[in-house]
Structure 1
Amino acid sequence: MKKTLRQDEKNGGESVKRNRELKEVIGQFIRTDGTQETAIPGLRFIRTSKISEPVYSVYEPSLCIVAQGSKVVMLAKESFQYDPASYLTASVHLPIMVQVVEASPEIPYLSLQLQLDMNQVLDILQSSDQSWSSKSESRRGLVISRMGDSLLDAVLRLVLLLDTPQDIPVLSTGLNREIIYRLLQDGQNETLKHFALIGSQAQRIAKVIKRLNFTFDQPIRVEELAEEVRMSASSFYSYFKEVTGMSPIQYQKQLRLQEARRLLFIGELNAAEASFHVGYESPSHFSREYTRKFGLPPMQDLQRLRETL
């Protein structure tokens, strides 16, 4: 028992050390609040020195790790909170609301996001000696899991490549593959493999989600989407809602409203123009749904958003 306790203390100490190193690297790289792309493809750092207002975005397939602080992610009506003891995996594109809930000027929120290539996930699954079943039911496309030492170690080694930029083209691909392998090994995180396996229910839903992200401004019919992926309309509807927490129509609406808000914020279009651009036929209908989503009519929300930022 004493040996086991000593080993646990040693492992715990190593985790604390790795997390401290991760905080230091992120803190050195991004010194002001915001999001910063890095020289490592698909890797970005995020920093904020105060509790944030709710921010609406679309998560792409990615691994998200908090090095310091805490964040809440809302998917439909479901809430996910994670911190340095856990990590988030998004296996498909999902419209979400995020809010940093633990941060201060003295101890800023620090995190990273690493894009995941689902083709690479599938390649690693096929290369592994382990057997993976494609018959599992669809699951939520967003998962919070407990951080493991092996995963944290691999992520830290990838991030430390920023200290030796000449090594990035040679070593980053292998470390990316190791990170994906560690994610697939995690028994808490079965979802990622289901979305990669060709023919699985989750993978077929992911195919439709990918299409909706490119064609959200066009009318959709659930029966046609179901037929595309060779599912009955009722089964497709059920599995889609299991993955995203919302119906296909609700999912499309979230994409439309978030894109309209982005267009308004960057000043390219007025409210009526934005409504038509994202697929609404009636500006008044758009305004009602926008107000229901963001709490204020478009122009008032835009003014509040600019003042907040």
Structure 2
Amino acid sequence: MSQQLAAALLRYTNAQPGKSPYATAVDGLYTLRSDLPRPPAFRSARPAICLVAQGAKWASFGGAQLEYAAGQALVVGIETPTLGRVFEASPEKPCLVLILELDLAMMRAVAQAMTSPPVPAGDASRGVFVANFDGPLADCALRAVRLLDTPDAVGIVFPMIMREICYWLLSGPHGPEIARLAAADNPSHNLLRAMENLRARFAQPVRVEELAEVAQLSVSAFHRQFKALTGLPPLQYQKQLRLIEARRLLLSQATTVQAAAFEVGYESASQFSREYARMFGAPPKKDAINALALRDAA
């Protein structure tokens, strides 16, 4: 089935203008194509399922690296900073990836409608994992790509495909983990609310004690469960969000290094430059110049 999906994605991306990633007529559905291996890149991941039809990638979450290749999917159940890289791709066999953003409210509705819904996992395990996609799940992905040929049907058919994808994820081997992240009445929900609070205020000074109160946990329990879910301590999570946003601003060429630093919450431009270089491997200005040159050459 991954070969059929690869053929459909190849045909679709061949017809697209511009550069990958390609947004589609379907909100929350993206296609990625890379004809060559890419250097590692930081970004902020949203809840999504990333299916590799051809080639291979890896993604690092809080230092834990996950590889996923043709026939596998990376399932991300939380919004979190990540470092990712395409490491298997060529002009003859480009890396082809389909990204479907997950609607956790829809996931909850599907779980409630199931005769035997999965019991949410009770532990604070990592909110990302790699799973095989085959059978009905692969068929859903292929139908989603083929649906792009009939835009008039998207609004009616795509929501049904997404509900089906939710069902197969919930009824699969990782169903308890998906159910834990989607369940509003699960203890992890308060932790996710605290994460949302931190993301909304990432450019502001935030005290861990405030976040622990939102999560209804002691400070030590909050710190432990937050790191178990994201792989990062809360303030390191905030720092990575700040630096990823600053890099986005710099690559948009809409701001200076000092302005970007202040925009994301740094009071010291020199501290910003040090932490930026530590994360991205070069000072802000040099990194932006190199990244823009690579983007223009791609």
Calculate the TM-score normalised by the size of structure 1.
0.91
Query: In the alignment, is residue 120 of structure 1 matched against residue 88 of structure 2?
Result: no
Residue of structure 2 equivalent to 1:191: 177
Give the paired residue count: 292
- Once the two structures are TM-superposed, the CA of residue 271 in structure 1 deviates from its matched residue by 0.9
Residue 247 of structure 2: aligned partner: 261
- The residue aligned with 1:3 is none
> Are the equivalent residues in 1 in contact too, given 2:49–2:75 (CA < 8 A)?
yes
1:305 aligns with 2:291: yes
Match of 2:189 among 175, 196, 203: 203
Shift, 1:33, TM fit: 4.6
Query: What's the offset of the Cα at 1:37?
Result: 1.1
1:204 deviates by 2.0
Structure 2 residue identity aligned to 1:98: G
Q: Using the alignment, how far apart are the partners of 2:59 and 2:94 within structure 1?
A: 18
Aligned position for 2:122: 136
Residue 72 of structure 1 pairs with residue 55 of structure 2: no
Partner of 1:7: none
Q: Distance in 2 between matches of 1:81 and 1:131?
A: 29
- Quote the offset at 1:66 in angstroms: 0.5
SS of corresponding position for 1:120: helix
Partner of 1:50: 36
Q: What is the one-letter code of the residue matched to 2:61?
A: L
Distance of aligned partners of 1:111 and 1:134 in 2 relative to their CA distance in 1, 3 Å threshold: closer
Aligned-residue CA RMSD (Å): 1.4
Q: Does 1:30 align with 2:13?
A: yes
Counterpart amino acid of 1:24? A
Contact 1:33 1:48 survives alignment (8 Å) = no
Aligned match of 2:88: 102
- Contact kept in structure 2, 1:33 and 1:49, CA below 8 Å: no
Contact 1:66–1:82 at 8 Å: present in 2 too?
yes
* Distance in 2 separating the partners of 1:293 and 1:73: 15
What is the DSSP-based 3-state SS (H/G/I as helix, E as strand, rest coil) of the residue aligned with 1:303?
helix
Spell out, residue by residue over 1:68-102, the C-alpha distance to the aligned partner (whole angstroms, 9 max, x if none): 00001011211011012211110010100110000
Does 2:129 align with 1:146?
no
Moved more, 157-166 or 249-258: 157-166
- Quick check: 1:20 aligned with 2:6? no
User: 1:176 is matched by which residue type in structure 2?
Assistant: M
**Secondary structure of the residue that 1:176 maps to in structure 2?**
helix
Q: CA deviation at 1:237?
A: 0.8
- Cα drift, residue 134 of structure 1: 4.2
Q: How does 1:222-233 map to 2 (within 5 A)?
A: 222-233=208-219
Q: Is the 8 A contact 1:202 1:243 kept in 2?
A: no
Task: Report the identity percentage.
Answer: 35
Rg (Cα) greater in structure:
1
TM-score normalized with structure 2 length: 0.94
Deviation readout 1:160-191 (Å, 9 max, x if unpaired): 21222222221111111000110111113532
Unaligned 5+ residue runs, structure 2? none
DSSP-derived class of the 1:99 partner: strand
